[in-house]
């Protein structure tokens, strides 16, 4: 993976009021920062910069699906800390985003990445359309031309090596990453922004963000169903976990029936067919392949199309083996692969009361549901 995303959330956000810094306050039932992180699902490696006092909270919220870095005294120092943490990791492009901008769209993110194919830096901006006044003692003292003026937004994107060198050469505090880049002589292309990509600064911004969130939410549901017969063997792969059993499961890949059902559920929500469309069983390269490859592809495709995975639910239908002792481990593995918090993944089992092929212990079936939310 050659793209990284740095989300800066080390400030205290006191102007917004409340008992918590603004990035941890709820927006639509979830922390502002969590929504900002989810906006970049599938884009690349995510690094979240937090105040040192918030690291425990960050671990509880994100687990291992992001890299946490402690911030510095200034925003510039916080960004530099994150850049240094990514050095020598193979990153070629980096997006830097404010954790207080939770509603950035997939189209804006994609436009910045595309612009980086043609230059060393690109940043989101909205052209100023209102009249601009100069003031003295609370009264209008003159006007300012708005020609060529833009309001800066994030993400701001850069060639990784170039922006790291710029921060090392210009360590002083700056208003944003574009200022650091320009000090180093980088040309920064402007990518059109969006009024919905607001930065939460004041208490009233939460109400506006809630209205935007309600209006732009695109929710999709997908279902998946799969069956595999038993064959000779000493274990079965279920939801990414090796479960000892007196028999194995027959299939072209590793026959992970739970993961196959979930993969199809995600593809279904995207109207992208099923595993067979993307990984044809007639192709010998997928013989014996780990089903995690299929599931990771489906989750990545969701991110590319601008959707985050809200929650998934997998039900395994079998008499044996017993799933209960492995259910938490299975859910944890699925969460890791699709890049969501463990609390958003359910794995459970049922029997068919000795009826049908599962009741006769001829195989295992799985049913899965996936909920995707996009802008």
Judged on CB neighbours under 10 Å (0-12, 13-18, 19+), 52 is exposed
Phi first, then psi: what are they for 174, rounded to 5°? Answer: -140, 160
What residues contact 112, with CB distance under 8 A and at least 6 apart?
95, 122, 123, 124, 155, 156, 157, 191
Tell whether the model's pLDDT for residue 77 goes beyond 70: yes
- pTM of the predicted protein model: 0.62
Q: Which two tokens stand for residue 8?
A: 């800066």
Going 71 to 72 to 78 to 82, the CA torsion angle's sign is negative
pLDDT for position 1: 61
Q: Give the dihedral sign, CA 57/58/59/61.
A: positive
User: Of the candidates 117, 105, 103, 101, which has an alpha carbon nearest to the alpha carbon of residue 3?
Assistant: 117
Other C-beta atoms within 10 Å of 262: how many? 33
CATH number of this structure's domain 218-374: 3.30.1330.50
Please compute the mean of the pLDDT values over residues 261-275 and round it to a whole number: 96
The reported pLDDT for the residue numbered 375 is 53
pLDDT in tens, 282-313: 888 888 889 999 999 999 999 888 788 999 99
Q: Regarding the domain with residue range 3-216, which homologous superfamily does it belong to in the CATH classification?
A: Spore Coat Polysaccharide Biosynthesis Protein SpsA; Chain A (3.90.550.10)
Average pLDDT over residues 338-360: 94
For the stretch 132-190, pLDDT in tens is 999 999 999 999 999 999 999 999 999 999 999 999 999 888 999 999 999 999 999 99
Hey, do 3-216 and 218-374 end up sharing a CATH topology, with the first three levels equal?
Answer: no
Window from 20-34, 160-174, 212-226, 248-262 with minimum mean pLDDT: 212-226
Alpha-carbon gap, residue 37 to 188, rounded angstroms: 24
Q: Where are the domains of the chain?
A: 3-216, 218-374
């Amino acid at each position: 993976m050659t793209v990284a995303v740095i989300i800066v959330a080390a400030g205290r956000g006191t102007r917004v009021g409340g008992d918590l810094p603004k990035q941890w306050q709820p927006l639509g039932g979830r922390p502002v920062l969590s929504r900002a992180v989810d906006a970049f699902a599938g884009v690349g490696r995510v690094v979240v910069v937090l105040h040192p006092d918030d690291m425990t909270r960050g671990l509880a919220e994100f687990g291992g699906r992001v890299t946490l870095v402690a911030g510095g005294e200034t925003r510039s120092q916080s960004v530099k800390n994150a850049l240094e943490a990514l050095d020598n990791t193979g990153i070629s492009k980096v997006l830097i985003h404010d954790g207080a901008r939770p509603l950035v769209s997939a189209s804006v993110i994609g436009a910045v990445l595309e612009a980086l194919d043609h230059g060393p830096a690109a940043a989101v901006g909205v052209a100023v359309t209102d009249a601009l006044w100069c003031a003295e003692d609370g009264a209008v003292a003159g006007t300012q031309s708005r020609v060529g003026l833009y309001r800066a937004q994030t993400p701001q994107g850069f060639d990784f090596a170039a922006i790291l060198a710029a921060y090392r050469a210009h360590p002083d505090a700056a208003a944003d990453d574009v200022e650091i880049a320009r000090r180093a002589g980088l040309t920064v292309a402007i990518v059109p922004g969006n009024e919905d990509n607001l930065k939460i600064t004041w208490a009233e911004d939460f109400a506006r963000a809630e209205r935007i969130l309600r209006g732009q939410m695109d929710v999709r549901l997908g279902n998946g169903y799969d069956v595999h017969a038993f064959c000779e063997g000493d274990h079965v792969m279920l939801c990414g976990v090796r479960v000892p059993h007196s028999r194995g499961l027959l299939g072209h890949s590793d026959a992970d029936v739970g993961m196959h059902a979930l993969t199809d559920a995600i593809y279904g929500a995207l109207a992208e067919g099923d595993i067979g469309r993307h990984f044809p069983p007639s192709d010998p390269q997928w013989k014996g392949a780990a089903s995690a490859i299929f599931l990771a592809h489906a989750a990545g495709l969701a991110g590319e199309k601008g959707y985050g995975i809200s929650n998934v639910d997998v039900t395994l239908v079998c008499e044996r083996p017993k799933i209960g002792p492995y259910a938490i481990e299975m859910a944890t593995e699925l969460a890791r692969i699709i890049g969501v918090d463990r609390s958003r993944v359910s794995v459970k089992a049922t029997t068919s009361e000795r009826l049908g092929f599962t009741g006769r212990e001829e195989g295992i079936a799985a049913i899965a549901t996936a909920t995707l939310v996009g802008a």
